[in-house]
Structure 1
Amino acid sequence: MGERMKKSWRSDRLSQLGSSIFAEVAEWRKQAASNGRDIINLGIGSPDKPPTEAVRKALSEAALRTDAYSYPGTHGSAAFRGQAAAWMDYRFGVKLDPDHELVSLMGSQDGLSHLAMSLCNPGDVVIVPNPGYPIYTAALALAGVEPYLLPLKEENQFLPDLDSVPDDVWQRAKFILLNYPGNPVSAVVDLAFFERLLAKAKEYGVLVVHDAAYSEMAFDGHEPPSILVVPGALEGAVEFHSLSKSFNMAGCRIGFLAGNREAVGALRELKENIDYGVFGAVQEAGVIALQEAMSASAPPKAGVLYEKRRDSFIEALAAAGWIVEKPKATMFIWAKLPKRSSGEAWTSRAFAQELLAQTGVVVIPGEAFGSEGEGFVRIALVEDEARLLVAARRIGEFLGC
């Protein structure tokens, strides 16, 4: 027999799905652990606290029912959609039709990864932030869509210069995607920014997609607005919300997209062909979480915990010799790299790798989030205060302070 033809069973587009840094950091972590390091993982933004007792009870009781295991339906249960719409009204004053302007998701990443497939054709352009959450560009690669990377720079408070986007890009773009409060950049915006953004996008018929996964994790009295509260926003915008971080339900995988009914309907139509929706018991737990947030005895917002951690950790870092700007929201610190003791500059990859090898503290190199992330690292406040103080002490020793 002749030699068998060799074919690759790996798609070329897998290499476009995002930075390999996350896989590299996982390997660095394994190596450090094998060398006896006590690992303090401040890399992945997964909440370390559970949902409230009422949410856990609702989930467990629903999961025990014998009628809980049929297909839940792609649109999401009427109860969850209705409660999500009620919460949007309560929290932001946004009134939505839960049957046409809201669709449930298996976490906001489910929607983010599929939105371009439902709205765009191959060769279309989408404007995304740089640095930005990796799924933003990965989703475009899956859809065969061309990204236009919009720089978020420190000198602009990590806000985009909308007027810097060339006219031909605006004309070709299907949507622009932004994220405030942001990940990895913990920046915030006011309603005036959303008004300018919507006006600019409307000029060119571009949909605005806002990822608001961290809306309940703001500090110092700031209350992040919804873009949908701007008059006329439902004509040209959609917004993602997630229960993962706000309600400590990351493993449950539940969120929703709200806003323009054509765009919401397109995503719903795509999902009708690829999945059967969120497990019903999880949706019931989500209803309870949203109801609790609207009650007179509502538990503290997630931001209360992370603000306290932020203050303790950044003060400890300063005492250790690394001055880092305090974020105004999210569970992340976007930290500008210090100088080496020699005075030379670190790369974000070298800093994260050496820090982990020598101290066991895991942070994510800024380059994992795009070229504009070089010179920074992302630090997740996902350990209790005592462990964060240990991490700060180790970092100080690493820096030779």
Structure 2
Amino acid sequence: MNIIPSKKMSLFEPAIFGDLKNYAKQQEAKGMHLIDLSLGSPDIPPHEMLRNHMSELSKRSSSYGYTLSGSKEFLEAVANYYKRVNKVDLVPETEIVQTIGSQEGLVHLPVAFCDPEDIVLTTNPGYVAYAAGINLAGAKPYYIPLDENRGFLPNLKAIPDDVAEKAKLLILNMPGNPVPMSPSIEYFTEVVEFAKKYNVIVLHDAAYSEFYFTGDAPISFLATPGAKEVGLEINSLSKSFSLAGARVAYIVGNAEMISIIKQLKSNLDFGIFDPIQSTAALALDHAEEITATLRSTFSERHITLMNGLKELGWEVAPSNGGMFVWAKYPYEIDSVSFAFKAIEQTGVLMVPGTTFGSEGEGYMRLALVQEKELLEEAVKRLKNLSI
């Protein structure tokens, strides 16, 4: 049988993560002890309260039916969380939609709003799911420069007028992945003005909103005057509450846009396992208690890795939050080759910057997913690189 994939599949190349893992296993078989800083998968387990809650609900025979959409308990927990943490009022029934993790929401959202050949504004470098969603919708990406002189904030003024006029969607991510730039009310005000001027829908990916290490929490896009008129915010419980495998997230904001997403999702899935929804609601209700420990741990890791790389001569992007360190290495070698060399010589797994776009050449993304002592060991090993 001659099995031929669709032409669209040519747009979805295999991610490099699998190749890195396979090569790392080969080195491990030779006796290399690995330190994996590649995937941003939380190493801290969920709070015991959440594990116990999930366990008890999962024992109930009544827990195994279709949920079809977000439960009343979950939607109200999201609204209460946004009111407490972000000072944003949300109507649970009309301004919140649940997604099966933020990846699902990010990949499907362009399908709800973009026709083939529509322009989607995004960043280079940027999270890989954005490109997947744009390709799935048949839309065309336009990449906004990340201006180092502006704290790596996407420079909207660099977008030509003729491109902005044709754009349908703008995707932002702050604190970002892979570049952990921080937003401000001034910047988000600029975004709202841009969206109104060019009639562009804004999606802000706030997956790392609980990862801040100094001062106040990053501002929610929806806390900006006029933001709810032009856009949406997506947030996930994967990182902030260590519920990555549970796959639960939500999109909040403009009611008309939320209605369109609900219409799409009603044709795609039948909701999330009820014990997961209830556990997610419990997590949001106790967010302040749970995330305080997370911030303390990740702040220490952030300082350890950032300062360690700087001592090795790496240029580290300044940040006050996020789950990653974005750093330029001091060697004349392309980032993919460097990533494999680092595994071979040191056993340290990092993600090459070009995974996130051409502008990532010369950079590595390192995830803060190991204990402080292992991060110190990783820096020590990287010091002995021979390139």
Q: Is the Cα contact below 8 Å between 2:169 and 2:203 reproduced in 1?
A: yes
Task: Please name the residue that 1:15 is paired with.
Answer: 10
Task: Please name the residue that 1:332 is paired with.
Answer: 324
Task: Please name the residue that 1:383 is paired with.
Answer: 370
How far apart are residue 347 of structure 1 and its match? 1.3
| 1:357 corresponds to 2:357 | no
Kindly report which structure 2 residues correspond to 1:146-225, keeping only aligned pairs within 5 A, or say none. 146-225=140-219
Pick aligned residue for 2:34 from 39, 47, 54: 39
How far apart are residue 375 of structure 1 and its match? 1.1
**Whole-Å separation in 2 of the counterparts to 1:197 and 1:323:** 28
User: What is the letter of the counterpart of residue 60 of structure 2?
Assistant: R
How far apart are residue 264 of structure 1 and its match? 1.2
Secondary structure of the 1:246 match is coil
| Deviation per residue, 1:152-202 (Å, 9 max, x gap) | 143332112212212121121111001000000011110110000110110
Secondary structure of the 1:175 match is strand
Task: Please name the residue that 1:53 is paired with.
Answer: 48
Task: Please name the residue that 2:297 is paired with.
Answer: 305
- After superposing the two structures, state which structure 1 stretch, 14-23 or 177-186, moved more: 14-23
Change (3 A) 1:173 1:7: farther
Root-mean-square deviation (CA, aligned residues, Å) is: 1.7
Kindly report which structure 2 residues correspond to 1:282-321, keeping only aligned pairs within 5 A, or say none. 282-294=276-288, 300=292, 302-321=294-313
| Deviation per residue, 1:265-299 (Å, 9 max, x gap) | 111111111111111110111011111125xx555
How far apart are residue 301 of structure 1 and its match? 5.0
Task: Please name the residue that 1:125 is paired with.
Answer: 119
User: What is the letter of the counterpart of residue 337 of structure 2?
Assistant: A
TM-score by length of structure 2 reads: 0.96
How far apart are residue 238 of structure 1 and its match? 0.1
| 1:79 corresponds to 2:73 | yes
How far apart are residue 35 of structure 1 and its match? 2.3
| Deviation per residue, 1:80-120 (Å, 9 max, x gap) | 00110110010001001110100111111110010011111
**Whole-Å separation in 2 of the counterparts to 1:245 and 1:30:** 26
Change (3 A) 1:375 1:154: farther
- After superposing the two structures, state which structure 1 stretch, 157-166 or 200-209, moved more: 157-166
**Whole-Å separation in 1 of the counterparts to 2:153 and 2:298:** 23
Change (3 A) 1:164 1:324: closer
Pick aligned residue for 1:371 from 358, 363, 367: 358
Q: Is the Cα contact below 8 Å between 1:219 and 1:329 reproduced in 2?
A: yes
Q: Is the Cα contact below 8 Å between 2:174 and 2:182 reproduced in 1?
A: yes
Q: Is the Cα contact below 8 Å between 2:315 and 2:329 reproduced in 1?
A: no
How far apart are residue 396 of structure 1 and its match? 0.7
**Whole-Å separation in 2 of the counterparts to 1:233 and 1:64:** 42
- After superposing the two structures, state which structure 1 stretch, 41-50 or 298-307, moved more: 298-307
Count residues with an aligned counterpart: 387
Structure 1: give runs of 5+ residues left out of the alignment: 1-5, 340-344
Kindly report which structure 2 residues correspond to 1:94-133, keeping only aligned pairs within 5 A, or say none. 94-133=88-127
Q: Is the Cα contact below 8 Å between 1:18 and 1:134 reproduced in 2?
A: no
Secondary structure of the 2:272 match is coil
Change (3 A) 1:220 1:31: same
Pick aligned residue for 1:69 from 64, 72, 79: 64
How far apart are residue 305 of structure 1 and its match? 1.3
Secondary structure of the 2:79 match is helix
| 1:141 corresponds to 2:135 | yes
Change (3 A) 1:301 1:14: farther
How far apart are residue 19 of structure 1 and its match? 6.3
| 1:227 corresponds to 2:214 | no
TM-score by length of structure 1 reads: 0.93
| Deviation per residue, 1:54-96 (Å, 9 max, x gap) | 111111111111100000112x001100110110010001001
Change (3 A) 1:245 1:363: same
**Whole-Å separation in 2 of the counterparts to 1:55 and 1:272:** 28
Secondary structure of the 1:267 match is helix
Task: Please name the residue that 1:342 is paired with.
Answer: none
**Whole-Å separation in 2 of the counterparts to 1:56 and 1:29:** 31
| Deviation per residue, 1:237-280 (Å, 9 max, x gap) | 10001111111111111110000111111111111111111111
**Whole-Å separation in 2 of the counterparts to 1:194 and 1:31:** 46
Change (3 A) 1:317 1:24: same
Pick aligned residue for 1:273 from 267, 276, 286: 267
Structure 2: give runs of 5+ residues left out of the alignment: none
How far apart are residue 33 of structure 1 and its match? 1.9
**Whole-Å separation in 2 of the counterparts to 1:299 and 1:159:** 25
Provide the identity percentage.
39
User: What is the letter of the counterpart of residue 255 of structure 1?
Assistant: A
Change (3 A) 1:79 1:283: same
**Whole-Å separation in 2 of the counterparts to 1:131 and 1:18:** 17
Q: Is the Cα contact below 8 Å between 2:151 and 2:318 reproduced in 1?
A: no
